[in-house]
Each structure stands twice: as structure tokens, then as C-alpha cells.
Structure 1
Amino acid sequence: MKPSTLALVVCCAFISNAAIADVEYHIDLTEPEHHLAQVSVTFPSTSKNSLVINLPVWRTGRYEVLPVADGVRLFEATDRKGNSLDWQRTASGEWQINLPKPTEVTINYQVYANQLGDRLRHIDRSHAFLDASGIFMYSPEFRDENVTVNMSVPKRWQSYSGMKRGNKKHSFIAENYDVLVDSPIETGISQHFTFEADNRDYEVVFWGEGNYDTQQIVTDLEKISYQAKAIWDGYPFERYVYMIHATSGARGATEHLNSTVIQLPRFNFRERKDYLRFISTASHEFIHTWNVKAYRPQGLVPYDYQAENMSELLWVAEGSTSYFQNQLLLRAGVISAKEFFEDLSKRINNNLHKPGREIQSIKEASLGQWSSTRGDYSLNHSVNIYAEGYMTSLALDFSLLDETRLAHSYRDVHNKLYQDFKVPRGYSVQDIKDILFELSGKDYQPWWQANVTSALSIDFEALLAKAGLTIGYSNPSATKVDAGLTVSTAGDHLTVTHVVRNGVAWQAGVNAGDIIVAVNGLRVSASDWLKRLADFKPGNTIKVSLFNNDKLVTREITLAEQPKGELKILPLSQVSNQQKSFLKAWIGIDWPFDNNGHYLKAKQ
């Protein structure tokens, strides 16, 4: 053989080996009734003396370390010839395999998958939902290699994912592990629909029986799809998959690279308030395809699957997404102006009744998200990257609209982030400030210090007045008593769940966890607590008998006063054309009220 021919053969052999050096996954789901699956992963040959294998300790979209590896058993490793390899467990989500010589490595393990509500992994007789972070192990050495996933599934099952399909019926391929981990698979008995919008293909997959209307959902999702251009110039995907689960109680949603999973109890779709919750969630997850998946803060790029990913800008990732979700629905005509403002008024009311807004900044909340908790302490001393992130986005949007005389809005900030900071580039606080300066000509450092680094305090009346609106009550003179606490009426006990910091119950010494048994010496039950309170007037002092750490004590609460009706957003009595223009620049619709302050009927 000539030297040139030998070189060509060696070169071709090298190319051939490189071409097939994929990470190959196989999952056996043929016996799903006990929530178990068998997983096999083959990694290309390595010359190192050990191979580190990981299973993520958290999943994208949920900023919380989870006991993911607790569902793994029967781990084993073999070389190319099937010989066993020694291994050690070196961390909660890490295995180290010893390699006496260069070889391919195949690992096999069992996975228990019954975490539907975590949107991590779930297998039963009717389907399997597979988020790779809870199913498929990876090696950091081969994280960037091509990925193939083959599945063995029961007959009649159909499989869907945001990934490209492989050369087998239940097979998918991805460019690397990061695409795999952000492209969950739904396989099982389901309903499947498709539509096209703005030259993009969409799929909608329904699993589980429920009282949902598939046609309404598909129609509304199509309407939403056309509204992305209100914020961004361009799309980060060619195809998008909605996975909708009608469950026996699990609820929530998670965004992914070009897909989402949305869960709602099976009979929580039909009532308008329930449907609004669902379709708002769908809009939220769709927005995440840009905000978080296409661009995200430094600290989240690249993802570190084995540790916390810290960022002081999680409020932009989550709170701003919440802020935009109903705006897209409003622009699409999926919700009315009345429904939009009802949602905003509830958010404002919740903010005004959260003492934690005076304590914690949204920056601190972002940095603390990985260790955040719920409950009494959280209410009184914390804010939320979703709820207060929404309010920070609202304040920033109004500031930018005002400073630029309606030429630019917060939407333009997100379009710039999308254009200039696509993953794998991450954006910083300074990058956002630079964008704000570019759009407005104003230094936003003082604003940032006052509203992001410090606890946010919004004068909602002054803020909304820019758009011709105010807050108030339909019957301002109607009031009711306020005991400064909330209770759980579940079960036989009347248990205090929250005590408002510096409120009347707080000052009286009532604590969360106390069990109330009597008011003014007469027994009170969970079912008649509110009726008993209604017998008193603001300023009255009541003696509340309760168990505190199993000890019977009495606390005297002097009842306060609060408005009886719900907070509402109302039009000002006198509204200028400039204020009407502000509202349209803000949410994209014409002035929605008649001369009497009533909502105009939506155009059909």
C-alpha cells in the first residue's frame, strides 16, 4: 500500500470514528406499572484512567437542589467487551469509573420515576414523562458530543419531544447534552394536534383525561404565537411543543428550549378562572423560550448541573416573564382588558399586604432563591422573584416609557438582550444598565439602587396615573375588621398560618402555629371563625384563647380596620390624550373605558 493510500485510510478511519462517537442512550419502558425504567448509556472511548459520570442535582426552571439521584439503583459499568469496571460514588450525583485502559464505557442503572409534580420524571401504565435531568446521566468529558436516545415502549404509545427525531420510531437526537436536558420527552397514550403560525410549526400534546377543550386551547395557543413580535425580532426555534398534563392533583409548569410542560388537575380547565390560570401559564412558558432559554443572566451560562447557579438577576428571568405573560394574552384577544386589570389589581393588593416588601430587595431575593422558603417568615421578611419581580418590571417599564416619551419600553430592553446576549453569552447588571442608557440617554444607576438593590416601594396611584388609572374600591366606605392574621380552616383545628408583622395580632403576641380554640371565652371552630369576627367592629378588643406550644394562653387583640371590597384598578375621572397614549404604548390596546368608567365591550 502506498504511503498516500495509507494516510487516506487512516484519515477516513479517524473521520468515521469521530462521526460515530456519539453518546448513546437507551431506556426500556416496557414494564411501566411500577414506575421503573432501565437506562443504558454508552460513552465514546477515552484515554483517561477514570471517567466521571453525573446526574444533575437540580433541573432547569426550578432553582432548587433536589434529591434526584435517590431514584437510582443497580448502577453498573462495563467496558467495550462487557467486562465489569470498578466504580465509586463520589458525590450525591456523581460516580467515578476506574479505567485500566482506554475503552468505551457503558453504564446501566434503574430509575424510579414517580415525581410528576416535580416535572422531573414520571412513568405509569399510560405514559412516561422524561426530563433528562432526572433520567439520563452524562459525563462532563462528553457533554458537548452528539446524543442519541432510543426508547423501548409499550404498543400504542406515541413519543414527542422538542428534539429532532432519529431513524427509529421512538428515537431522538440532539446536538449535545445541554439540548437533551432541555428537551423533555412525552411518550404514551395522548392526543396530538398541530398548527402553523408565522412560519413556525407547533405541536400540542394532551396526556390525561380532563374537562379541557382541546379546540379552544389550540386556537388560543395559536393566537398567542403571533404576539411574540410585540417584544422580539425573530424566533429562537423552528418548531415548538406544548405538553399538557391533566393530573390527579399535580400542578405547575416548566419551560424548555423549544417546548414546555404544563400541569393542572384534570377538572381545573373549564371554569373561566381556571382557564385563565392555565392560559396565562402557557403564555408565561412561551415567553421563557426567549427570556431564559435564548438569553439569560451570567451565572446561568453555562448551566452547572451539579451546583447552585447564582444570579442577582433571577427577577428578570422570572418576574419579567410573569410581567409580559398577560400582555401577550391581551394583545392576542385571549383575555379582555377587564381580566387583565383584575389580575394586575390582585397583584398590587398582594404586594401592599406583604410586609416583606419593606425588608428584602429583589436583588437579595434573586440571590437567595436557591434557599428560599415559604410561610410566616417569608411573608413578613421576604419578597418573591416572580411577584415582586413583576412589580419591579412594571416600575422599570413605566420609567422607560416616561423617560423616552413613549419611544421605548421594557419590551425593547428584552429585544436587545435577545439580539446581543444569546446563549452561550450571558448578560450582567451593567449590560442592562447600558441598554437602558442607550434607549433613554439616562443613567439608571440611581434608579437601580432605589428599586433593585434596595427594597422596592411603589406609589401605585402616582405610577398608574401616567396611564390614566388609579386604584380604589367600588364601595370605599365599606369596611370590615382585621385581626392581623390568617388561619387554616382545614381539618378540626383553627391553626394560625401567618401573623402580619407589626399588625394587631403580632403586637398581641400571637404566633404562626398557634391553635385558636375560643373567642371571649366561647369555643370557636374552623367553620365559624370569620362569622365570629364579623360580630365585632374595628377598635373592639377580643380575648383569643389558644394553644401555644401545647400551653393554653389568652391574647388580647384590638381589631383593626380594612376595606371590605376588593381592590380595583379604575380610570381617573379626567383622562388626557397623553395618558391614553401612555396606556396604549404600555399594553398595546386603545383606551378600554367609556365616559362612565365602564369597560367597553370587546370587539368580536
Structure 2
Amino acid sequence: MRRRKIAFSMLIAIVLSAVSFISNAQDTKSISYELRMPEPETHFFEVGMTINNVLTNPKIIDKRRLLVKMPVWTPGSYLVREYAGNVENFQATDGQNKPLNFRKVNKNTWEIDIDQIEDVKISYKVYAFDLTVRTSFIDASHGYLNGASIFMFVPELMKSQADLKIYPYEKWSTISTALPETSKNTFLVKDFDTLVDSPIEIGNHEVLEFEALGIPYRIAMYSSSPLNYDKEKLIKDYKSLVIAAETVVGETPLENYLFIVHHQPGIGGGLEHLHSTTCQTSPFAYSSERAYIGLFGLLAHEYFHLWNVKRIRPVALGPFDYENENYTHMLWVAEGFTSFYEEIILNRAGLINDEDVVKAVAGALSSAESTPGNRIQAVTEASWDAWIKYYRPSENSNNTRISYYGKGGVLAALLNAKIIANTKAEKSLDDVMKLLYNKYYKALGRGYTDAEFQMAVEEIHGGSLDYFFKNYVSGTERPDYEQIYKGVGLKVIDNNEDREKPYLGITERRGMIYRMSSEGSAYHSGLSVNDQVVSIDGNKDINFANALLSKNVGEKMVVVVNRHGVEMEFTIDLQKDERKSYSLEKMTKMNKEQEKAYQKFVGK
């Protein structure tokens, strides 16, 4: 009996030991990253990457070779950027720092020989000297990282947890990121998507803090020069903005949130992330009301993305393929609807008024209708071709393309108006966003298809919108603005009737033709982009804008240009300006239903 008891006890001990081993193995992160920046003035980040337990990890099938890859693009910016081009000094060793053989097998993939190796250590440097929201940057004043442009991944381990240890430059004291900090300067990474989706600001920047809706917020304020702003007002307005944005969906899926704001001349734009955003603006963003509201429009846009795109998303946008284009026809919703909601959110936050919303809607309408490409390219096609067109504009882009941002915002406003009118102001576009959020993000845990999006809009609208989607979304037909906006108490004013002067369609820079509109008088005259202007009607000291002041429709203009060293003469027959321009005015006489619809439309 005793021996049996001893044997049984030993068996229990062995089992417990095995369980403990398995538990410890599971607790060990599959990947550990290190980030160093000992010489920021050289513009290099140094990255260390350790892949643990290669032999015992069941996710890694091939125990002879390990592939390590660099993303070629970053979510939210639909262009292949070839981040691997900035990688230098790639090295691989085993756990005892013995060099391992490796080779680069394509533009962004390194293959490492790992036969019978338990741990693999990788190191490389990344040149980072491009301060945009889509890239990374480091100099003596600060470091900024967009994860896709810095960190590599092992395809089999993209869903595995990792640690990130940051060693900031010795003169820097502050690290700002949405990643949870487990110990000093060490952060938990849920998976590779999260690492890409968590930008990092490192330096001595100021950090502002506030709480809204029970959620802590931080604002990392980097500036290349001293900023002059009212701290109390700024925090108050940030708080109003995030509270107003929450009203669209009615729920904030956050535990915390980080705004990274770069202030520097010559930069601008923003990029959304799951629990943070990076926005870039001028140091003078606080010097005037117009500049201030411009900044908050950018903040509202990027913050609203935490719902629209990061959670309410086209099915193609996640999980991501970081090596290839991820195509969708729905960027007009992802970006266009977000653009539309900028003013709605600012109005609800009390930063602008109803008239500002109407003016912005009219401005977007005029911009779209005055773009020749609006009659050539459907907004769904613009979304699909973002990878080869939107981020690679040319001098002819306006003639053949439409922005899915601007046109998408126009369509969002129209759908909002149609829903409000058809439901007697009981529902709006907000209800579409709520439906998509609750059904596809929360209940199904996935994105929506093109057809599912249309069905969601029709469900809220209370009827078919097939004609709208077929002709205005997938087609290039002019929407019936007048009839649609009448339903929310708005009158469309055609400003084209007042235009009796000719339009050349020429954009000139330093005496050279830079761009030509296909709807301008000069387009079919023989003139070409890059022609150097010698004289206009015999005058060598005048530009096109001034020369046109004394001209009328039906007259001619004689232009001499230098093209590749040869002087050439062309005659332009001056034609009426046919560009589209519209205003929206609130109807002077409205009943209670129309007034209710108008208030609903402007976001009240």
C-alpha cells in the first residue's frame, strides 16, 4: 500500500509539474521586441526581435526555416509604401548569440535557417526621417513611430502576444502610446495588428489629461516651437468633442484613448488607430478661431474613425494582409461618412453652429460637382483604385478622378436627408451607424459587405434605395439635390447663373502651366502642362489671371509658350465658365415637420 501511495504521489507530482511547465510556456510571450535610439540625430531606430520557443511552438510548422517579414503598407493609408526600403543591417543569431544563416527572398521577406534552434534573435535598423502620420521619424528633438514602418512579423505568430521594451534616448523622459504598460517602459502587445495600430511618441513632450464618459484621455503635444494656447479651454473643447462623437453610435468601446498631436510648419493630416490617433497641424493652430476650428475638424474626423473604419468597417479591411493591397469599394463610406460627421460632431460639441454645417455641406457639393472627374469616375471605383490613383495624383487627376472623401461626404449628407425626410425626422444616418455597429461589429464580430451596407441603409430609410446606389454611388449621374434637400427644409441655390466671365481652366506656377481643367477654354487649344509662358496677347509681363480680367466670353486670347526650347503660338477661344457652384439656404417658411427635419439634419 505504501509503495502504491508513493508511486501515486510521484505521479501527481509529475502531472502537476507538467501542468506547471505548460502554463509557464503559455505565459512566455512568443515574441519580444526591443526598441532603441542611441543616436537620434542619425535618424535610425534600432529594433531587436526575439522569437521564443521555436522548436516547441506548434504554430511554427517548418522547424528548418523561419520567415520574417516587413509590412508594405499601413491600414488607413491605402498605398504600398515599401517600408522594407528603410531597413539596414539585418542580423540573426540563436539564443547564445551564434550567427544564423539568412537570405532575403523578396522585397520584404528574410528567410533564416533555424534547424534545431530554440530561440531566434533578430536585429536591424530602420532609417526614419519622414514626419507624416503614415511613416516614422526621429531626430534630436523627438521620435515618432508608426508600427507598420518599424516592426517585422512572423506570419505564423501574428495573433500571438508579445512584449515591447523601449529604451528611450538618454535625454528623453516621456513615452506616449495606447499600449498597456506592464512595467517601466515595457508594454504588452496583444497581437501584431495591435502593434501596428498603436503609434508611439517619444521625447520630452507635454502630456495633457482629462476624463470623459468615465474614460481617461491623454493628449501628447509635440511641437517644434513654443505653443501659445489656453490649456483650460483646450481640454474643455476636447472633452466636448469626445462626448459629442459618442452620441452618433451611443456607446464608446474604449478603456482609454490617446491623441498624438504634432505641431510643425509644413505638415498636416491624421491617421486613425484602434485606441489612438496621430494628428499633425501647424504651431499656429491656436492663433485664430478659423485655425482652431480647422484643428478640431481634423480631431473630430480621426476620433470618429474609432467607430467608423476601426469597428464599423468594410469586410475587406480586417484582418489585414500587410503584404498586398486590400481592396474594397467602400472607402466612400469609411472616409466620406467620417468627413460628413466632422461638422455634425463639432456642432453637437458647441464649437460651430447650424449654419456652419449647412455651409460645409454646400461646399462639399460644389467641390464634387465642379470636379470634371466626378462625371468620369464613380465613387465606388475611386475607392477600389485608391491604391493606384488617390495617393498618386497627377496634373490630370481632377479631370478623370473623384475623391472618395469629398464625394462620399456628399452622398452621406444626401442619405441623411433622405432618411430624415422619409421617417418624418424620427431617424437619421446615426441610426445606420448604430445598426452597423451593433450587428456587424458587436454581434457578428466582422465587417459588412457592400450589399449588407445598402440593406442597413434601406432598413433605416424604410424603403428601397436601389436607384440611389445604382446611379449615384456606383454611377456618375447627378443626384436630384433640389428635391432631396427640400425634404429637410433646405433650398439649393445655383450660383452658376451669375457667371458671365470666361474660364481658362489653367493653373499657373512661376510662369509655367501646371494644370489644365478639361472644362476650361484652354483645354482644346493646343496648350499643354509644363509649357513655359512667354507672352499673352503680346504682353510678356502678365499672367493668365490678370490677362483674363479684361476679356469677355466669345473673345480670343493669343498665347506664346516655350516647349522644350521651341516657341509656339496658340489661340484660345474664350468660353463661359461652366463650373458648378451651389449654396444651401434654410427655407424661410417652414412648418413644424420641416423645422424638425432641418434640426435633425444639422445634428441636433
TM score, norm. by length of structure 1: 0.91
**Could you tell me which residue of structure 1 aligns to residue 330 of structure 2?**
313
Displacement of 1:319: 0.7
Identical amino acids, percent of aligned pairs: 25
1:437 maps to 2:453: no
In structure 2, which of residues 140, 143, 150 is the aligned counterpart of residue 135 of structure 1? 150
- 2:342 partner SS: helix
User: How far apart, in 2, do the equivalents of 1:556 and 1:575 lie?
Assistant: 52
**Could you tell me which residue of structure 2 aligns to residue 359 of structure 1?**
376
Moved segments of 4+, more than 6 Å = 563-566
**Could you tell me which residue of structure 1 aligns to residue 178 of structure 2?**
162
1:192 maps to 2:185: no
Displacement of 1:6: 0.9
Q: 1:118 to 1:192 in 2, by over 3 A?
A: closer
| Equivalent residues of 1:357, 1:457 under 8 A apart | no
Give ranges in structure 1 of 5+ residues lacking alignment.
Answer: 590-604
Displacement of 1:524: 3.7
1:3 maps to 2:11: yes
- 1:504 partner SS: coil
1:29 maps to 2:37: yes
1:147 maps to 2:189: no
User: How far apart, in 1, do the equivalents of 2:482 and 2:524 lie?
Assistant: 29
1:469 maps to 2:469: no
Q: 1:342 to 1:425 in 2, by over 3 A?
A: same
In structure 2, which of residues 10, 20, 23 is the aligned counterpart of residue 15 of structure 1? 23
User: How far apart, in 2, do the equivalents of 1:54 and 1:287 lie?
Assistant: 31
- RMSD between aligned alpha carbons? 2.2
1:110 maps to 2:128: no
**Could you tell me which residue of structure 1 aligns to residue 546 of structure 2?**
531
Q: 1:479 to 1:409 in 2, by over 3 A?
A: same
Q: 1:94 to 1:308 in 2, by over 3 A?
A: same
Displacement of 1:280: 0.5
**Could you tell me which residue of structure 2 aligns to residue 488 of structure 1?**
508
1:70 maps to 2:90: no
* 1:358-437 paired onto structure 2 within 5 Å: 358-372=375-389, 373-422=392-441, 424-437=445-458
Q: 1:563 to 1:269 in 2, by over 3 A?
A: farther
Displacement of 1:196: 0.8
User: How far apart, in 1, do the equivalents of 2:580 and 2:157 lie?
Assistant: 60
Displacement of 1:487: 1.7
- 2:522 partner SS: helix
**Could you tell me which residue of structure 2 aligns to residue 217 of structure 1?**
234
| Equivalent residues of 1:433, 1:443 under 8 A apart | no
User: How far apart, in 1, do the equivalents of 2:294 and 2:533 lie?
Assistant: 33
**Could you tell me which residue of structure 2 aligns to residue 514 of structure 1?**
531
Give ranges in structure 2 of 5+ residues lacking alignment.
Answer: 1-6, 56-62
Q: Which moved more, 1:310-319 or 1:540-549?
A: 540-549
Q: What code does the residue aligned with 2:35 have?
A: I
Displacement of 1:287: 0.4
User: How far apart, in 2, do the equivalents of 1:539 and 1:343 lie?
Assistant: 34
Q: What code does the residue aligned with 1:54 have?
A: K
Displacement of 1:36: 1.2
User: How far apart, in 2, do the equivalents of 1:149 and 1:21 lie?
Assistant: 10
**Could you tell me which residue of structure 1 aligns to residue 115 of structure 2?**
100
User: How far apart, in 2, do the equivalents of 1:477 and 1:456 lie?
Assistant: 21
Displacement of 1:346: 2.3
User: How far apart, in 2, do the equivalents of 1:229 and 1:431 lie?
Assistant: 24
Q: Which moved more, 1:109-118 or 1:261-270?
A: 261-270
Q: Which moved more, 1:87-96 or 1:434-443?
A: 434-443
User: How far apart, in 1, do the equivalents of 2:586 and 2:526 lie?
Assistant: 41
Displacement of 1:359: 0.9
- 2:404 partner SS: coil
**Could you tell me which residue of structure 2 aligns to residue 602 of structure 1?**
none
Q: Which moved more, 1:71-80 or 1:571-580?
A: 571-580
**Could you tell me which residue of structure 2 aligns to residue 277 of structure 1?**
294
Q: Encode CA deviations 1:89-140: one digit per residue, 9 max, x unaligned.
A: 1222211111111411110011111111254211111211111111111111
- 2:183 partner SS: coil
- 1:226 partner SS: helix
TM score, norm. by length of structure 2: 0.91
Displacement of 1:456: 4.6
Q: 1:500 to 1:227 in 2, by over 3 A?
A: same
Displacement of 1:3: 2.0
Q: Encode CA deviations 1:266-285: one digit per residue, 9 max, x unaligned.
A: 23442333222211010000
Aligned length: 582
User: How far apart, in 2, do the equivalents of 1:473 and 1:408 lie?
Assistant: 29
User: How far apart, in 2, do the equivalents of 1:120 and 1:473 lie?
Assistant: 42
Q: What code does the residue aligned with 1:165 have?
A: E
In structure 2, which of residues 55, 66, 72 is the aligned counterpart of residue 57 of structure 1? 72
